[in-house]
Amino acid sequence: MVRVAKKRLPYYEGNYPIWVWEENNYPNRNQIAWGRENSKMVILTLDVPNEWVLWSYFDYWCCAMTDESIYLHTKNKCTLDEWYTYMDKEYGIIFDFDYLLSHPDWCLGKEDSLEKQGVIGRIPLSFVKKVRRFRAKEDKSINTIRSDKWDNRKESRINKMNRKLKKKKDKQKKLQKRLIRN
């Protein structure tokens, strides 16, 4: 998305893309799994000029993303540049709505069900028309899968790294003392 946005959007500066949706595809904030329970969240209603947005077809975008895993599991791998060239050519139709709307396997006769998603590089304050605040609901299905230490995994990893570093430094000090004695 970033590579295509850099090529097609005059106002895109290469920042991490911000995902946007059309007004008729408004997210349901009452759904679970928006974030941790009771997290403060916002939904912004924006008025963005079309030349600022790179629109793509959501369903075909999902197909492209799952096909990328083929690169990771292929034995005779091509170079990463060759892979990107292949992906750009093969999945360029993600952004070609005229082709998708005329193709019998994709959206021919299903214009109303075409689900667009877009990316922009930044949100100037002048684009913001409305801010809706809400608190996330808990997704209980995720919590049953997670272990008790799920939330502390980052802290645990940092502590483990610090222990390893301390152990390594202690070994170096002991070695230096031994070398000094001899």
| Among 109, 68, 110, CA closest to 91 | 68
Instruction: Please report, as a single letter, which amino acid is at residue 51.
Output: E
Question: What mean pLDDT comes out for the span 106-128?
Answer: 81
Please report which confidence band the pLDDT of residue 81 belongs to, taking 50, 70 and 90 as the band edges. confident
The two tokens of residue 92 are 């360029």
Please report which confidence band the pLDDT of residue 171 belongs to, taking 50, 70 and 90 as the band edges. very high
d(CA 180, CA 34): 59
> Regarding predicted confidence, which is higher, 144 or 103?
103
Check whether 72 has a pLDDT greater than 60: no
The two tokens of residue 114 are 């075409």
Integer Rg of the chain from CA: 24
Residue 128's pLDDT is: 95
Domain ranges of the chain: 2-146, 148-182
| Among 146, 157, 159, CA closest to 37 | 146
pLDDT digits over 16-55, tens only? 888 888 877 766 776 666 677 788 888 899 999 989 998 8
Residue 46's pLDDT is: 93
Question: What is the total residue count of the chain?
Answer: 182
For residues 32 and 140, the answer to whether their CB atoms sit within 8 Å is yes
Residue 94's pLDDT is: 79
d(CA 1, CA 68): 13
Residue 95's pLDDT is: 80
Check whether 129 has a pLDDT greater than 90: yes
Residue 102's pLDDT is: 78
Please report which confidence band the pLDDT of residue 66 belongs to, taking 50, 70 and 90 as the band edges. low
